[in-house]
């Protein structure tokens, strides 16, 4: 009898602990903000259901995909803000009804609309949707939130702004966002961006394509949005300008433009692209052009180079220590490069080499010119760089060997943190 009593009391204590402990919550208290600005409450069980929220204004009649996605929307008659939720691990709960709640919260913290959604086990949907009207008579301007609950536990949240319909260019510039990227090619059929990078080699008939993703493009209700793209060369001077006038009927949210990177048109160096909206700078991004790989004269072609990296050199013997292509960043550390030239004796004039050290961003950070006369007996040259944490960061580096302007060899090495 006493044992039974103890067992019973233990059972109740357990139940009380269960109620009063945070163990009841299946999610971590501290949320994480994803790249798309969805605030996510991560499940303690990694395989549990999670969600991403996309807010948008319309669905494309052609593709059926959401368009005008963003987090700032102008208040307009007969318009709505829609939410599309993509669920991950939708079937983690197995053969069980799932109950979700959308909770749209207004600027004063009050709930403006709550929508429960039941997903039965037979329902294969892994997306949920909800929407609210943003007509001026129902919604004031301000910061709103959309919360998504699963079994009454908050699993994701996204903030958005409703702004008063205005033709004011200043408010448009505050709301509209732009992100500039570069690529070497675009697929002609799909328009997909290929070779997305910030470093390109100058080449005959080559082009660099710029794309600008515009966010909250419909925050402005005036007649036209006037964008200007301005390309700047390594000398800091503008060399090309393109204007875009997007009318209200134009639903595009990407601006595209390209420039030639033919050797006759461009010099190696750092380029800059600036985007202006109503003549105010709203975004900029850089890219690098590297020298073209030219056709090398027959004599030069014979001259080859062999590059070896090491972390030290024996001062007495001159022997290489720690030969490798992977090194660690460290105080007082250095990397030594040994470049051995072959077939150099066939030339009768001075050879001007350049050893060019290039960082993970494709940017040259140290160039060492070396001149070798036919009478010089050496066939190996050296160069070294510091790898202290103040000067270098982790990533893939290159050493490029140029003979005059021609690249005759390169080798990659890695720096680890």
Q: Binding mask 138-167 vs another protein (x if CB under 8 A, - otherwise)?
A: ---------x-xxxxxx--x----------
Report the nearest approach of another protein to the CB of residue 136 (Å). Answer: 22
Kindly tell me which residue out of 38, 50, 103, 131 binds another protein, with binding defined by CB under 8 A: 103
Is position 3 an interface residue for another protein (rule: CB under 8 A)?
no
CB 51 within 8 A of CB 155: yes
Is position 193 an interface residue for another protein (rule: CB under 8 A)?
no
Is position 12 an interface residue for another protein (rule: CB under 8 A)?
yes
Q: Which are the contacts of 362, defined by CB distance < 8 A and separation ≥ 6?
A: 197, 198, 199, 288, 290
Is position 5 an interface residue for another protein (rule: CB under 8 A)?
yes
Kindly tell me which residue out of 35, 47, 108, 249 binds another protein, with binding defined by CB under 8 A: 108
Report the nearest approach of another protein to the CB of residue 120 (Å). Answer: 11
Chain centroid, CA 54 distance in Å: 18
Is position 93 an interface residue for another protein (rule: CB under 8 A)?
yes
Q: Pick the closer one to another protein by CB: 9 or 394.
A: 9
- Residue of 392, 388, 381, 331 whose CA lies nearest to 351: 381
Q: Pick the closer one to another protein by CB: 6 or 293.
A: 6
Write a three-state SS string for 365-380: EEEEEEEECCCCCCCE
CB 41 within 8 A of CB 49: no
Is position 273 an interface residue for another protein (rule: CB under 8 A)?
no
Q: Pick the closer one to another protein by CB: 19 or 295.
A: 19
Distance (Å, whole) CA 383 – CA 338: 7
CB 274 within 8 A of CB 284: yes
Q: Binding mask 21-40 vs another protein (x if CB under 8 A, - otherwise)?
A: -xxxxx--x-----------
Q: Which are the contacts of 63, defined by CB distance < 8 A and separation ≥ 6?
A: none
Query: Which of these ranges, 18-26, 50-58, 274-282, 377-385, lies near another protein under the rule CB under 8 A?
Result: 18-26
Query: Which of these ranges, 96-104, 315-323, 369-377, 385-393, lies near another protein under the rule CB under 8 A?
Result: 96-104
Q: Pick the closer one to another protein by CB: 7 or 416.
A: 7
Task: Indicate left, alpha or beta for 410 from its phi (over 0: left) and psi (-120 to 50: alpha).
Answer: beta
Distance (Å, whole) CA 374 – CA 372: 7
Is position 120 an interface residue for another protein (rule: CB under 8 A)?
no
Distance (Å, whole) CA 358 – CA 401: 11
DSSP 235-283: TS-EEEEEEEEEETT----EEEEEEE--TTT--SEEEEEEEEETTEEEE
Distance (Å, whole) CA 386 – CA 252: 48
Report the nearest approach of another protein to the CB of residue 281 (Å). Answer: 39
Q: Pick the closer one to another protein by CB: 8 or 380.
A: 8
CB 60 within 8 A of CB 50: no
Chain centroid, CA 206 distance in Å: 24
Report the nearest approach of another protein to the CB of residue 90 (Å). Answer: 14
Query: Which of these ranges, 4-12, 327-335, 356-364, 374-382, lies near another protein under the rule CB under 8 A?
Result: 4-12
Q: Pick the closer one to another protein by CB: 93 or 363.
A: 93
Is position 326 an interface residue for another protein (rule: CB under 8 A)?
no
The site for another protein (CB under 8 A) is made up of 5, 8-9, 11-12, 15, 18-20, 22-26, 29, 93, 96-99, 101, 103, 105, 108-111, 114, 116, 147, 149-154, 157
């Amino acid at each position: 009898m006493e044992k039974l009593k103890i067992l019973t009391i233990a059972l109740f204590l357990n139940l009380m602990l269960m109620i009063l402990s945070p163990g009841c919550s299946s999610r971590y208290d501290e949320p994480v903000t994803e790249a798309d600005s969805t605030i996510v409450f991560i499940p303690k069980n990694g395989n549990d259901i999670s969600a991403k929220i996309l807010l948008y204004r319309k669905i494309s009649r052609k593709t059926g995909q959401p368009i005008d996605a963003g987090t700032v929307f102008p208040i307009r008659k007969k318009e709505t803000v829609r939410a599309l939720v993509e669920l991950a691990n939708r079937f983690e709960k197995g053969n069980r009804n799932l109950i979700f709640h959308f909770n749209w919260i207004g600027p004063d913290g009050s709930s403006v609309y709550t929508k429960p959604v039941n997903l039965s086990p037979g329902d294969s949907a892994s997306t949920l949707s909800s929407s609210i009207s943003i007509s001026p008579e129902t919604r004031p301007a301000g910061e709103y939130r959309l919360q998504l609950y699963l079994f009454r536990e908050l699993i994701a949240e996204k903030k958005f702004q409703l702004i008063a319909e205005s033709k004011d260019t200043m408010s448009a510039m505050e709301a509209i966002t732009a992100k500039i990227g570069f690529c070497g090619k675009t697929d002609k059929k799909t328009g997909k961006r290929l070779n997305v990078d910030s470093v390109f080699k100058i080449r005959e008939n080559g082009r660099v394509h710029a794309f600008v993703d515009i966010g909250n493009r419909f925050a402005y209700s005036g007649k036209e949005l006037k964008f200007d793209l301005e390309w700047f060369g390594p000398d800091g001077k503008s060399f090309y300008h393109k204007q875009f006038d997007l009318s209200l009927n134009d639903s595009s949210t990407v601006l595209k433009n390209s420039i030639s990177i033919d050797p006759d048109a461009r010099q190696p160096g750092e380029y800059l692209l600036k985007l202006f909206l109503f003549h105010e700078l709203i975004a900029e991004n850089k890219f690098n052009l590297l020298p073209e790989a030219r056709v090398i004269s027959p004599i030069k072609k014979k001259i080859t180079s062999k590059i070896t990296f090491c972390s030290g050199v024996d001062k007495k013997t001159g022997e290489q220590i720690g030969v490798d292509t992977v090194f660690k960043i460290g105080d007082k550390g250095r990397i030594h490069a040994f470049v051995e030239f072959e077939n150099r004796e066939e030339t009768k004039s001075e050879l001007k080499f350049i050893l060019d050290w290039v960082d993970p961003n494709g940017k040259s950070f140290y160039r060492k010119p070396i001149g070798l006369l036919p009478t010089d007996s050496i066939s190996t040259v050296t160069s070294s760089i510091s790898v202290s944490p103040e000067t270098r960061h982790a990533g893939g580096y290159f050493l490029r060997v140029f003979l005059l302007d021609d690249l005759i060899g390169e080798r990659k090495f890695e720096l680890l943190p």
